[in-house]
Amino acid sequence: MNKRVVITGVGAITPIGIGKNDFWGSLASGRSGIRKITRFDVSSYPSQTAGEVDNFDPTDYMDPKTAKRMDRFSQFAVACARMAVDDAKLDINEKNCRDIGIVVSSAMGGVPLAEDQHSLFLEKGLKRVSPYLAISLFAGSASSQISISLGIKGFSNTIGGACSAGTDAMGHAFHNIRHGLSKVILAGGAEAPLAPLTFGAFCVINALSTHNEEPEKSSRPFDRDRNGFVMGEGGAVLILEELTHALDRGAHIYAEILGYGTTYDSFHMAQPAPDGIEAAKAVRSALEDAKIRPQDVDYINAHGSGTPLNDRTETKIAKDVFGEFAYDIPMSANKSMTGHALGAAGAIETAASILTLEHQFLPPTINLENPDPECDLDYVPQQGRDAEIRIVLSNSYGFGGKNSALILKRLNSDRLP
């Protein structure tokens, strides 16, 4: 018999707030975290805006010596994990540390640190390269650092599937607990890709927004004038837990995970398949896994990256899966405020989805000023609103044609064992 899986804790670091309360407050009020990049000189770049995380001090979550050994994305991951554990009031000790797992996603890992060290290597030679580079570069260093920091000795996995990786981390953890292999898993993602070459690589393929004049308006999902996504950084970690385990310890439950689906387009490395068939299958698979009907979905947390093809295809997918109901289901894009944190985006948006259920409030899609005729659904434009929400679908799409979908439900007392 399948186990039921719930979410009992959340930690988030985003361009619009650190910690769940600041994150949600900004999200609900429609505050943009996008600005002109300050991390390096972008004067020669066609795209000059990003979602930078302000006021993050890793020593608030670890000692300075430990922080020095990590790339920024691992610092995000550890900080988010500590916040999530505290939020869940989860006691990790010698008796249970082997029964707790970790699944963390990252598309870029420590590549920005490698950029910095490569420049130093070319200028001053091998002896000046940081001894911490080798242990900070690989994407799996984030999950390893969480394990070391919190004393977790269960399994520790890394998901690197591009921009859907955060959602895939949730799905992997969900199935693991559902099938009785674990009782508690820290699942999430972290990304810190804002470095000259990494950022420039996305400029070269014309993937990024060039609306530089008003940075806070440069991320424009579903808007007629959108011309690319805005890169962001940050992370989120959630505590996934088997239901009876959570109830036995009196944990606060944000939501239940009902289903997960994933497919590949096998079409193009940087473009979604225009017919959206495989992406629609991912959503249908998640609905079937959850044992619910399309019309049971009350809200869609959109991938909503702000690229012309992606937003148009996501709209097509919604119409394909939900038919006439598509026009009745509100859908909004957090990336209009946070930017796109690549491999961490799905984790951040899962956090946003459970807070949407918690507060019964739909966050808006900001900067949707000139609707695209081909994007004609309810994207909650400009201003959020109260709503009765029981079930949320969260979508993620990634380079290479990766499609993933997660179904979350507000847990009602009548469904408790």
Mean local confidence (pLDDT), 388-407: 96
User: Does residue 242 share a domain with residue 280?
Assistant: no
Residue 223 lies in a domain: yes
User: Residue 260 is which amino acid?
Assistant: Y
Residue 283 lies in a domain: yes
**Can 118 be counted among the known catalytic residues?**
no
Residue 254 lies in a domain: no
User: Residue 187 is which amino acid?
Assistant: A
Rounded to the nearest 5°, which phi and psi values hold at 189? Answer: -155, 160
Name which of 31-35, 87-91, 116-120, 191-195 the model is least confident about: 116-120
User: Does residue 135 share a domain with residue 32?
Assistant: yes
Give the whole-number percent of the chain exceeding pLDDT 70: 99
Name which of 250-264, 327-341, 353-367, 399-413 the model is least confident about: 399-413
User: Does residue 268 share a domain with residue 216?
Assistant: no
Residues 351, 276: Cα–Cα separation, whole Å = 26
pLDDT band at 162 (very low <50, low <70, confident <90, very high): confident
Surface-to-core class of residue 91, CB atoms within 10 Å of its CB (0-12 exposed, 13-18 middle, 19+ buried): exposed
Amino acid 140: pLDDT: 92
Total domains, the chain: 2
pLDDT band at 412 (very low <50, low <70, confident <90, very high): confident
Amino acid 416: pLDDT: 64
In terms of Cα–Cα distance, which of 105, 39, 104, 113 is closest to 70?
Answer: 113
User: Does residue 160 share a domain with residue 286?
Assistant: no
Residue 286 lies in a domain: yes
Give the tens place of pLDDT for each residue, 276-326: 999 999 999 999 999 999 999 999 999 999 999 999 999 999 999 999 999
Amino acid 415: pLDDT: 57
Amino acid 417: pLDDT: 61
User: Does residue 209 share a domain with residue 142?
Assistant: yes
8 A C-beta contact, residue 46 and residue 32: no
Position 398 pLDDT exceeds 80: yes
Residue tagged 């629609």 (tokens): 280
8 A C-beta contact, residue 120 and residue 356: no
Amino acid 103: pLDDT: 98
Residues 5, 179: Cα–Cα separation, whole Å = 10
Amino acid 334: pLDDT: 98
How confident is the prediction for the chain on average, in pLDDT? Answer: 96
User: Does residue 283 share a domain with residue 236?
Assistant: no
User: Does residue 353 share a domain with residue 217?
Assistant: no
Candidate list 80, 163, 203, 375, residue with the active-site label: 163
Candidate list 172, 211, 245, 303, residue with the active-site label: 303
Which of 224, 248, 272 is the endpoint of a domain? 248
Residue 253 lies in a domain: no
Amino acid 112: pLDDT: 86
Mean local confidence (pLDDT), 381-399: 97
pLDDT band at 1 (very low <50, low <70, confident <90, very high): confident
Which of 226, 248, 270 is the endpoint of a domain? 248
User: Does residue 198 share a domain with residue 137?
Assistant: yes
Give the tens place of pLDDT for each residue, 85-141: 999 999 999 999 999 999 999 999 998 889 999 999 999 999 999 999 998 988 999
Amino acid 413: pLDDT: 53
8 A C-beta contact, residue 404 and residue 260: yes
Residue 285 lies in a domain: yes
Question: What does the CA dihedral 10, 16, 22, 24 come to, rounded to 10 degrees?
Answer: -60
Give the whole-number percent of the chain exceeding pLDDT 90: 93
Give the tens place of pLDDT for each residue, 165-185: 999 999 999 999 999 999 999
Amino acid 161: pLDDT: 79
Candidate list 172, 211, 245, 340, residue with the active-site label: 340
Q: Which DSSP state fits 365?
A: B
Structural domain span for residue 319: 259-415
Rounded to the nearest 5°, which phi and psi values hold at 159? Answer: -110, 125
User: Does residue 277 share a domain with residue 236?
Assistant: no
Q: Angle, nearest 10°, between helix axes 345-359 and 165-178?
A: 70
**Can 163 be counted among the known catalytic residues?**
yes
Position 250 pLDDT exceeds 70: yes
User: Does residue 316 share a domain with residue 244?
Assistant: no
> Residue 22 has which token pair?
């600041």
Q: What's the alpha-carbon Rg for the chain, to the nearest Å?
A: 20
Strand ranges (E), 129-287: 156-159, 184-191, 234-242, 255-264
Amino acid 392: pLDDT: 98
Identify the three-state secondary structure at position 116. Answer: helix
Residues 182, 185: Cα–Cα separation, whole Å = 7
Position 269 pLDDT exceeds 90: no
CATH at residue 149? 3.40.47.10
Which of 248, 282, 308 is the endpoint of a domain? 248
Mean local confidence (pLDDT), 331-359: 98
Name which of 41-55, 222-236, 257-271, 327-341 the model is least confident about: 257-271
User: Does residue 407 share a domain with residue 288?
Assistant: yes
Residue 32 lies in a domain: yes
Residue 307 lies in a domain: yes
Nearby residues of 190 by Cβ (< 8 Å), 6 or more positions away: 73, 74, 76, 77, 80, 104, 105, 106, 142, 234, 235, 237, 343, 344, 347
pLDDT band at 146 (very low <50, low <70, confident <90, very high): very high
Q: Which DSSP state fits 340?
A: B
User: Does residue 316 share a domain with residue 184?
Assistant: no
Whole-prediction pTM: 0.97
